[in-house]
Amino acid sequence: MVSDNERISHICRRLGYGAQPDMVATVGSADAARDALLDLSAPADASFRLDPPDEFDPETDRGNLIALLSFWLEQLATSPRRIEERLVWFWHDHFATDVRKVQTSYFMYLQHQTIRRHATGSFRDLLHAIAVDPAMLVYLDGAQNTADAINENFGREVMELFTLGRGHYTEDDVVAASRAFSGWVAIRDGSRARRPVDLDPWTSHFIPIRHDSGAKTLLGTTGRLDAVDAIDILLEQERTAEFIAHKLYVHLVGLEPATDELDRISTAFRADYDTMDLVTAIAAEPAFTSDAAVLAKVRTPLEKAVGVVQAFGGERGRLRSLGDTLRTMGYVPLAPPNVAGYPEGPALLDPHRLVHTFDFSVLIPEDVRGMSPVEIMNRLGIYDISPNTHDVLESVPDTGGRIAMAINSPEYHLV
């Protein structure tokens, strides 16, 4: 039987990006926790900004990337707009884009801002924006997609990974979509000597002469389709709402939805593609707070790191030193392993990642002491502790060692 505090912590973990133990101790009930986690009344943090560079400089670019990552990690750990941070990560994983191919931190910053701007709003608007986003144009080769040389990468992935899912389109649809998306370019360098003088740098542009303007048939619709038309056609498909609703349900609940649940939430979602309405509907389902959903997911390396910071505080600056560990574990923000996004589930419990979980001990304050096993686990947002875990932690004499063992406990590996 799941305790009340564990259920509250579960809501914090799933609708936010960590258990935030102080909240668990104060909200009082599962309903109050759900309301608090879905609350977007606090102002968004607009303090971080990158200015477009005059010219590309590798050293400056690396510094900007580190600054962007530091800002994002800080937001994950501390933002009062908790559901926003959960959704920013969800959409980054969904529209996975890798800075190692994009090779421009400013483009990644622009995409991050686009995702953040639309994360809790309209999926329709987000999908339209991502389709012509400069980083995405580079990452999935849309900038090389021209009437004379159609590149199918984005045309395929927008259907397979972003909207319909595999098996719900044909190869002819891939070709038609790719032709519709042709003609867009991403202008990187600010030097006018390296670009057409009439195109602003550091953004995307539509070049009519590069676009295939001929008739196309996409998913049964025929016309001289362009990128806007193609996205609208994808959004008209019942399968798109079902695909997104299913993915977000599994992400938040950790279980497969029943057929009637999925039909109900996906039908409502398709009406206007409002993401927060979908989240609210999922969070209202009885399955969301059921015993079966609690600790049903494997905690990601990023969730582990953020959880330690939230638990013990005062060491948030050390998040900046986690790049090597997160890279080793295949979980660096802005650098997904592939276009399908980050690994999840039991794959995260391999020996390599389990061993490197101890590396998060760098986040433990040096002066922490005098905490019992129960206090440590509660700070980590774990309230239902097995006797075996308690006995192992009790056997470690110093608090720092106990915390190091706690973050590699079976309970903390789950979320």
Q: Which residues contact residue 124 at a Cβ distance below 8 angstroms, ignoring those fewer than 6 apart?
A: 235, 272, 273
- CA–CA separation, 312 and 20 (whole Å): 10
**What separation in angstroms does the CA of 153 have from each of 102, 136, 235, 336?**
15, 11, 19, 17
What pTM was estimated for this model as a whole?
0.96
pLDDT in tens, 340-378: 999 999 999 999 999 999 999 888 888 888 899 999 999
- How many CA atoms within 13 Å lie on the side-chain side of 117? 12
Indicate the SS3 state at residue 192. Answer: helix
**What separation in angstroms does the CA of 241 have from each of 276, 339, 355, 378?**
14, 21, 39, 38
Break the chain into its structural domains and give their ranges: 58-236, 238-289, 298-406
- CA–CA separation, 189 and 207 (whole Å): 17
Q: In the numeric block, which tokens belong to residue 174?
A: 């891939």
Q: Which residues contact residue 361 at a Cβ distance below 8 angstroms, ignoring those fewer than 6 apart?
A: 400, 403, 404, 407
- CA–CA separation, 221 and 215 (whole Å): 10
- Residue 45 φ then ψ, to 5°: -75, 110
Q: In the numeric block, which tokens belong to residue 274?
A: 């409002």
The single-letter DSSP state of residue 359 is: G
The residue type found at 353 is: R
- How many CA atoms within 13 Å lie on the side-chain side of 240? 20
- CA–CA separation, 75 and 15 (whole Å): 14
- CA–CA separation, 69 and 372 (whole Å): 34
Q: Which residues contact residue 259 at a Cβ distance below 8 angstroms, ignoring those fewer than 6 apart?
A: none
Query: What count of other Cβ atoms lies within 10 Å of the Cβ of residue 365?
Result: 14
pLDDT at residue number 197: 56
pLDDT at residue number 318: 59
pLDDT at residue number 193: 44
Closest C-alpha among 185, 186, 181 to residue 213: 181
The single-letter DSSP state of residue 237 is: S
Long-range contacts (CB closer than 8 Å, 24 or more residues apart) made by 257-264 = 257/285, 257/287, 258/287, 261/285, 261/287
Cβ–Cβ under 8 Å, residues 9 and 382: yes
**Chain centre distance of CA 392:** 34
Largest CA distance in the chain: 74
Cβ–Cβ under 8 Å, residues 45 and 82: no
Give the residues of the chain that fall short of pLDDT 50: 191, 193
Backbone dihedral region for residue 255 (phi beyond 0: left; psi -120 to 50: alpha; all else: beta): beta
Indicate the SS3 state at residue 93. Answer: helix
Strand spans (E) along 122-263: 184-187, 203-206, 216-218, 221-223
Helices (H) and strands (E) in the chain, counts: 21, 4
Q: Which residues contact residue 18 at a Cβ distance below 8 angstroms, ignoring those fewer than 6 apart?
A: 12, 76, 77, 303, 306, 307, 310, 381
Indicate the SS3 state at residue 104. Answer: coil
